Amino acid sequence: MKVFNFSAGPSMLPVEVMERAKKEFTNYKNSGCGIIELSHRGSEFTEVIERAEKNVRELMDIPQDYSVCFMQGGASLQFAMIPMSFLPKDSFAEYAETGHWAEAAIKQGKFFGEVKIVASSKNTNYDRIPEIRHWHPSEDAAYLHITSNNTIYGTQYHSFPEGAAPLVADMSSDIMSRIVDTGKFSLIYAGAQKNLGPSGVTLVVIKNSFAAKAAEKVPAMLKYSTYIEKKSLYNTPPTFGIYMLALVTDWMKEKGGLPAIEKINDTKSEALYEILDASSFYKCPVEPASRSKMNVVFRLPSVDLEEKFVKLAKAEGFIGLKGHRSVGGIRASIYNAMTLEGVEKLIDFMNEFESKNN
Ligand SMILES: *Cc1c(COP(=O)(O)O)cnc(C)c1O
C-alpha cells in the first residue's frame, strides 16, 4: 500500500531520490561498487562531496566568505560545540527559549558559560515566537542563538532578529524550505534527517570571520576549523549521508530551487491551516503569526478522539501523525519531500473523520 509519511524525523525523502539511490546502491556509476563501499578520498566520492557543497551554496545563496561543513553528531552535538568554541568564560551568550530543542541548546550552553534568555514563550506553553520587536538583545553577547522552526510545538520565525550579536540558528527542521538571507547569520546548522537526507550528517554553514574567533583549546573533531581547513575530510565523513544529501539537493535544484520549494510549502501549509481554522472540531494551538509551515500541530476535542484519529489514519495509509510524546495531539510534518497530493489526501481524510465523529 502506498503510504503518506508525515513523520517529524527521520522523515520521508523524495521518491525520485529514493529510486535513484536504490538503482545506484550496488553499482555506483559503473564502478562495480556501491558508493558506501568506496574510499572517501577516491574520485567518485570527491565528486559527490564537491557537488553536495556546490548545491548547498547555490540553493542557499551562500556568500563567498562562508564555509560549508558536513559533520556528525546531529544538531545535538552543535548544542555543545557552539558554546565550547564561541562562549568565552568572561562573556555571555543569549538564547531565545522557544521550545524543547531551544531548551536543550540552552542547557548545553550553560555547561560552558553564562547564558542569558533574551526572549521566552515558555509561560504560554511555547505557542508562539516571542515578538522580536520586544527583544532587547545585547550587542556585547558572544552570539545570539535561535531555533528557526520549533518542530515539536509547530512554531516558526517569519522574520529574524537583526543587528545584535552574531546570529546562530538551529535550522534542523526548516533548512532550505524557504528563502533565507544566509548573510545575516554567522552560523547555521541542521541535522539532515528532516529536509536534507538521512540521519548521520549535520550541515553547518559558518562565516569564516566568526569561525576565526573560536577558542583554541578544543579537540580536533569538535573544532570548526578542522572541518573548514580539511573540507570535511579530516577523518572519514558520513559518506552515505553526504551522497544522499547530494541527491536531495540535486532534486531541489531540478524543482526550481528555494523559490519554487517555498511556494509549494506555502500552498501545502495554507491548505492545512485553512481547514483547521474553518473547523470547530480541529484546533490549532499555535498563535497564527507564529505558525510553522513544516510542522502543523493540532488537537481534537478529546484525547480518545486523537488516539482514534491516529489509528484510523494509519490504517488508511497516513503514518507518523502522532504528536510528540511531550505535548500529545496531532502533528503533520510536511517537509519539502511531502507532496501537495499527500496533503490534499490528508485533508480529505480529516474532513471525513470530522463528519463521522463530530
Ligand atoms: C530534530 C531536531 C533536533 C535534534 O536533532 P539531532 O540531529 O537528533 O540531534 C534539534 N533541533 C531541532 C529544531 C530539531 O528539529
**Separation between Cα atoms, residue 166 and residue 55, nearest integer Å:** 25
What is the CA(352)–ligand 1 centre distance, in A?
33
* Residue ranges covered by each domain of the chain: 16-254, 257-357
What is the CA(106)–ligand 1 centre distance, in A?
14
**Separation between Cα atoms, residue 201 and residue 192, nearest integer Å:** 6
pLDDT given for residue 255 in this prediction: 98
Q: Judge whether 251 counts as a catalytic residue.
A: no
Q: Return the bridge partners of 168, or none.
A: 145, 187
Q: Phi then psi for 88, rounded to 5 degrees?
A: -70, 155
What is the CA(9)–ligand 1 centre distance, in A?
8
Domain 16-254 adopts which CATH fold?
A: Aspartate Aminotransferase; domain 2 (3.40.640)
**Separation between Cα atoms, residue 154 and residue 174, nearest integer Å:** 11
pLDDT given for residue 164 in this prediction: 76
What is the CA(104)–ligand 1 centre distance, in A?
10
Q: Judge whether 101 counts as a catalytic residue.
A: yes
Lookup: cell for 305: 478522539
**Separation between Cα atoms, residue 181 and residue 195, nearest integer Å:** 18
Q: Whose CA is nearest to atom 13 of ligand 1?
A: 172
Rounded to 10 degrees, what is the CA torsion of 287, 291, 295, 300? 30
**Separation between Cα atoms, residue 193 and residue 202, nearest integer Å:** 9
Q: Whose CA is nearest to atom 3 of ligand 1?
A: 75
Of 65, 122, 170, 207, which one is the catalytic site residue? 170
Of 174, 194, 207, 268, which one is the catalytic site residue? 194
**Taking CB atoms and a 6 Å cutoff, what residues make up the pocket around ligand 1?**
9, 74-76, 101, 147, 151, 170, 172-173, 191
Q: Are 143 and 214 in contact (CB under 8 A)?
A: no
Please give the number of the atom of ligand 1 that sits closest to the Cα of 76. 9
Q: Whose CA is nearest to atom 2 of ligand 1?
A: 172
pLDDT given for residue 2 in this prediction: 83
**For a pocket test of ligand 1, which of 95, 147, 151 has the largest count of ligand atoms closer than 8 A to its C-beta?**
151
pLDDT given for residue 358 in this prediction: 87
- β-pair type (155-156, 114-120): unpaired
**Separation between Cα atoms, residue 207 and residue 201, nearest integer Å:** 20
Q: Are 102 and 127 in contact (CB under 8 A)?
A: no
Sign of the alpha-carbon torsion through 322, 325, 328, 333: negative
For residue 152, the one-letter residue type is I
Instruction: Note the maximum CA span of the chain.
Output: 63
pLDDT given for residue 254 in this prediction: 98
Of 23, 29, 101, 283, which one is the catalytic site residue? 101
- β-pair type (114-120, 144-147): unpaired
**DSSP per-residue letters across 324-355:** PTTT-SEEEE--TTS-HHHHHHHHHHHHHHHH
pLDDT given for residue 133 in this prediction: 94
Q: Are 95 and 106 in contact (CB under 8 A)?
A: yes
CATH 3.40.50.720 fits 257-357, yes or no: no
Q: Are 152 and 100 in contact (CB under 8 A)?
A: yes
Q: Return the bridge partners of 171, or none.
A: none
Q: Are 212 and 202 in contact (CB under 8 A)?
A: no
Spell out the per-residue pLDDT of the chain, length 358, in tens.
Answer: 789 999 999 999 999 999 999 999 999 999 999 999 999 999 999 999 999 999 999 999 999 999 999 999 999 999 999 999 999 999 999 999 999 999 999 999 999 999 999 999 999 999 999 999 999 999 999 999 999 999 999 999 999 998 779 999 999 999 999 999 999 999 999 999 999 999 999 999 999 999 999 999 999 999 999 999 999 999 999 999 999 999 999 999 999 999 999 999 999 999 999 999 999 999 999 999 999 999 999 999 999 999 999 999 999 999 999 999 999 999 999 999 999 999 999 999 999 999 999 8
